[in-house]
Homo-oligomer: A and B are copies of this chain.
Amino acid sequence: MSTWTDNLTMETMAKERANPPFDVRKMSIEHHGSESDLVKKEKFMLEASRDPVFYSADIYDLTKDQIRERTMQRIQRLAHYVTSESVDDFQKRMELMSLLDPGLWTRLGVHYGLFLGAIRSGATPNQFSYWMEKGVIACQGMFGCFGMTELAHGSNVAGLETTAHFDAQTDEFVIHTPNLGATKWWIGGAAQTATHCSVFAQLIVKGKRYGTKTFIVPLRDPKSFQLLPGINIGDIGKKMGRDGIDNGYIQFTNVRIPRAYMLMKHTQVTRDGEVREPPLQQLTYGALLQGRTAMVADAANTAKKALTISVRYAAARRQFKSDAKAQYETQILDYPIHQRRLMPLVAQAVAFGYTALELQRLFEETSQALEALEPGDPNLEATIEKLKETHSTSAGLKAFCTWATLETIDRSRQACGGHGYSSYNGFANMHADFAVHCTWEGDNTILALQAGRFLISAYQDALDGKEQVSAGTKYLNNIEQVLAAKCESDEALDTLDGIDRGWATVAAHAVKKASEDYQACLKA
């Protein structure tokens, strides 16, 4: 009666893989943007899979402290690559690292993305060289953390309360935590590994407040790792996931740093305590975009990873006979309901992949435009528009893609029945690690509201006949026609142009409805 054979799973998989109706290699190339990028990623994957430092099969049974130690061993190994390969190559390597070890990715993201990113976007050329020479690239003598969030303030960055008083007598800033709520909280790397922190604090000069600026504050002696005077640090301990990164809290008690440790590309404080503010405040926020852009790519990659497991399992798993005379039970992938559970998610993950490539392109274009700006530049207005668009697009996509991927992970888990619940099959950690993407670098609800605000105001502009310059909202031009458009024929939806026009109408109606609902709320 039994039809069990020990080889059945392997035979089934081989059969599923045989004779695909399309060229798999060609599709992979498309997914990764180009053949050279795909080949690079394959090379990086091979290197990681053979390197004992990246051995991960035992990770499920390690304690938080063991996982943290492993993170540091891996960082030591990656420091080798960062000094020997191009930034672009290293970024691709990092993108894969997130699939392998999200805690490690975060620890490096905090250092290279947030800490170094803060320096890159906020330092003068001289300051930049100064910190480079301290060893920030090779993580030698300088390993950074990013000190924005406080116990009482996360989303409301303007409300941060850590103070940076300028002491004109000694030409120093005094960094201070005025109350418990102002304790820096969640700071990744602070608990054990960071030597320096980019601290967001209220600049106060001669009693006047100038808002939140960034200061590089040494935390530990880079040799002994002893805390420096005035620095109190604690460990935030066990988290839902990403235990590989040592999140901590920091209190500063009258910590003195040289004036030059304030990043002064935008706002400057002179030796006499004169404060020069930048002409355009909004140009200073470009640096926050990189994290969100990376997270959209990470959402796509993680969704694909989860679905690779669940779709493969669905092909191999058999449960119930649909036909009593069949030799084997039915592969669960052949049940229409199972296809409905997984296939739309596959399509979505693929779409996220292309979205990520496109957002990366937009981000790079915007960054270059920002860096090329000169005083009195004729491109100023266009660049500001571009920045606004990149802001709201990355905000909306970060929220949408991370929410959807978190759901994809759990649906994939459930599609694997009981086996999805074993840690060794990957979903447990994947979910726990990924979940924080909905919260950090802009809480998803807040980001969704920002994207919504941008769309509603674009819609109002469109109604007022103002032309949309942002590529992302161009579909709102000729709004009356777009709203009234009907699909001419089923065939129209077989062309890219037809799909494009279809989406324009769908999106315009969605924005119109949101806009009208919003107006109604305001009136109520």
Contacts and interface: CB of A to CB of B under 8 A. Distances in A.
Interface of A: 1-2, 4, 6, 60-61, 63-64, 149, 152-156, 159, 161, 178-182, 185-186, 209, 236-241, 318-320, 329, 336-337, 341, 406, 410, 413-414, 417-418, 420-424, 427-428, 431-432, 435-436, 438-440, 443-445, 449, 521
B329 A159 contact: yes
A420 B421 CA distance: 22
A61 B182 contact: no
Given A238-B61, A432-B432, A161 B4 contact: yes
A417 B154 contact: yes
Nearest to A180: B6
Contacts of A149: 418
Contact of A439 (B155, B179, B417): B417
A182 B435 CA distance: 36
Contacts of A185: 418
23 contacts: A2-B161, A2-B178, A2-B179, A2-B181, A4-B161, A4-B182, A155-B417, A156-B320, A185-B418, A237-B422, A237-B424, A239-B423, A239-B428, A240-B413, A240-B428, A240-B431, A336-B521, A337-B445, A413-B435, A414-B439, A417-B439, A421-B435, A421-B436
A413 B427 CA distance: 19
B64 A64 contact: no
This chain's copy number in the assembly: 2
A417 B237 CA distance: 17
Contacts of A413: 240, 435
Contact of A319 (B156, B186, B444): B156
A63 B63 contact: yes
| Max chain B Cβ within 10 angstroms of own Cβ: one of A156, A240, A424, A439 | A240
Closest 4 CB pairs of A and B: A240-B428, A238-B423, A4-B181, A60-B238
Contacts of A209: 1
A152 B420 CA distance: 14
A63 B406 CA distance: 26
B237 A423 contact: yes
Contacts of A2: 161, 178-179, 181-182
Contacts of A432: 428, 432
A155 B237 contact: no
A386 to B, nearest CB: 27
Contacts of A64: 61
A383 B185 CA distance: 60
Contacts of A439: 414, 417-418, 420-421
A243 to B, nearest CB: 9
A299 B161 CA distance: 41
A420 B449 CA distance: 20
Contact of A240 (B6, B61, B417, B423): B423
A65 to B, nearest CB: 9
Contacts of A186: 418
Contacts of A1: 161, 209
Contact of A320 (B159, B181, B436): B159
A148 to B, nearest CB: 11
Chain B CB within 10 Å, residue with most, of A60, A179, A422, A449: A422
Contacts of A63: 61, 63
A181 B1 CA distance: 13
Contacts of A161: 1-2, 4
Nearest to A438: B414
A410 to B, nearest CB: 7
A430 B315 CA distance: 31
Nearest to A155: B319
A249 B4 CA distance: 18
Contacts of A449: 337
Given A154-B319, A238-B423, A238-B424, 10 more contacts: A6-B179, A6-B180, A61-B238, A154-B417, A154-B418, A159-B319, A336-B521, A406-B410, A413-B435, A420-B439
Nearest to A63: B63
A23 B382 CA distance: 60
Contacts of A178: 2, 4
Given A240-B428, A443-B417, A445-B337, A4 B154 contact: no
Nearest to A161: B2
